Amino acid sequence: MAVMSYADAAKLAVAEAMREDDRVWCVGEDLGRGGVFKQYTGLVEEFGPKRISDAPISEAAIMGAAFGAAMVGTRPIVEMRFADFALCATDELVNQIAKARFMFGGQSRAPMVIRKPMGMWRSSAAQHSQSLEGWYAHIPGLVVCCPATPQDNYAMMRAAIACDDPVVYLEHKNIWALEGEVDTSLRGEFGKARLRRSGGDVTIVSWSDTANVAEAAAGALADRGIAAEVIDLISLWPWDKRAVLDSVRKTGRLIVAHEAVAVGGFGAEVVATVAQSGARLSAPPVRLGAPRSLVSYAPNLEDKLRVTAAMIAEAADKMMEAEPA
């Protein structure tokens, strides 16, 4: 198994898929120079500028044109540069791409991967730091994926390119350089969570880079004799309800942790689903997310919005101390 970075794992998946299928192509700003995060470096040399296509700074046209090209038989990978900039193409994604197949009675498909680098990245401030995955999970027609490791970024990218539905693919900017082993024989499966750590005391559900934070928290908890089970959902739609419900039935305790603003965040969906399932909890469930505030430039202010391993561990400690209901 090769060791590679989170960025290179996705790049390898893109390159392999492009070698296998001439219909796959990438389009976005600066791709000819490797993309703003170098996640396309070297691809234009292999595939040429038509298939690794530069684009004007026209997010609506990048998204809309890629959709038009998908309708006539190509399989575009759309690079939005920052998840924040993708908001300039919201009509194209939400009103057009997500709805076309249904509105046209099944006549069209939009096999697209829409890459939106997300999340806090030191001192990038309010317009380059957002985690908006919950918005997209709310939109019928979209698949939503937030991988947290090099292995999953490889395997899920392969799955996303092979998928005939539009996939909103959110890579976390803070972990482009994160290295890990990648088995290139693996293909991801949407709606199948990864068990990052087993444990019988408390279930911690997370995704994207916060899943890595949760795993670190579980390590700290283990040192104190608390066995936390960490579930990385990987995809938010579909999401692995079964894995979460099975785990909570075992532990009786649920923490959901994500970087996005807690209010209206996908953590609420997870907690509500567990509540509706009737699973018996021995402590009230906990949602950890950002306060409903904005990401700052100053590091100390930015950090006030982060969900840390210490916060997750503290929540677990309190749950363990609480009297069983």
Partner 1 sequence: MSLRNFDTRAGLARLILMERIRAFEETARRAAVEEGLVLGAIHLSIGQEAVAVGLIESLRRDDYITSTHRGHGHTLAKGADPQAMMKELLGRAGGCCGGKGGSMHIADFGVGMLGANGVVSANITIAAGAAHGVKLLGGDQVVVCFFGDGAANRGPFLEGLNWAGVFDLPILFVCEDNRYSASTLTAAMTSGNVAGRARALGLRVTEIDGNDVEELAQVAAEITARIRETGQPEFLHALTYRLDGHTYFDPATYRPEGEAERMRAERDPIARQRELLFEAGLSVAELNTVREAARDEMAAALEAARAAPWPDEASVFDDVQDVGSPAMEAF
What part of residues 107-136 is at the interface with partner 1 (CB under 8 A)? 107-108
Mark the segment that binds partner 1 (CB under 8 A) among 90-98, 169-177, 297-305, 309-317: 90-98
Least distance to partner 1 from the beta carbon of 65, Å?
Answer: 3
Put the strands of the sheet holding 286-290 in their side by side order: 194-197, 228-232, 202-206, 254-261, 286-290
Q: Chain centroid to CA 15: how far?
A: 20
Residue 32 in the binding site for partner 1 (CB under 8 A): no
Give the phi and the psi of residue 286 in degrees, each rounded to 5.
-125, 135
Pairing between strand 179-182 and 167-169?
unpaired
Decide: is 56 part of the binding site for partner 1 (CB under 8 A).
yes
* 104 near partner 1, rule: CB under 8 A: yes
Q: How far is the CB of 75 from partner 1 (least distance, A)?
A: 10
The answer to whether the Cα torsion of 44, 49, 50, 55 is positive or negative is: positive
d(CA 253, CA 237): 23
> Is residue 219 near partner 1 by the rule CB under 8 A?
no
Contact with partner 1 (CB under 8 A) among 132, 143, 170, 214: 143
Provide the H-helix boundaries in the chain.
6-20, 43-51, 59-71, 90, 98-103, 133-137, 150-162, 208-223, 241-251, 266-277, 299-303, 309-321
Cβ-based burial of 299 (10 A; exposed 0-12, middle 13-18, buried ≥19) = exposed
Residue the block writes with tokens 């937030």: 146
> What letter would DSSP give residue 47?
H
Confirm or reject binding of residue 91 to partner 1 (CB under 8 A).
yes
Number of residues that bind partner 1 (CB under 8 A): 45
- Interface residue with partner 1 among 30, 90, 125, 165 (CB under 8 A) is 165
Binding test (CB under 8 A) with partner 1, winner from 117, 119, 134, 141: 141
Instruction: Answer yes or no whether residue 71 interacts with partner 1 by CB under 8 A.
Output: yes
What totals of helices (H) and strands (E) does the chain contain, helices first?
12, 14
Task: Decide if residue 190 touches partner 1 (CB under 8 A).
Answer: yes
Binding of partner 1 by 196 (CB under 8 A): no
23 binds partner 1 (CB under 8 A): yes
By CB under 8 A, residue 297 contacts partner 1: no
| Min dist. Cβ of residue 238 to partner 1 (A) | 3
269 is a site residue for partner 1 (CB under 8 A): no
Interface residues with partner 1 (CB under 8 A) are 23, 25, 50-51, 53, 56, 58, 60-61, 63-74, 91-92, 95-96, 100-108, 140-143, 163-165, 190-191, 237-238
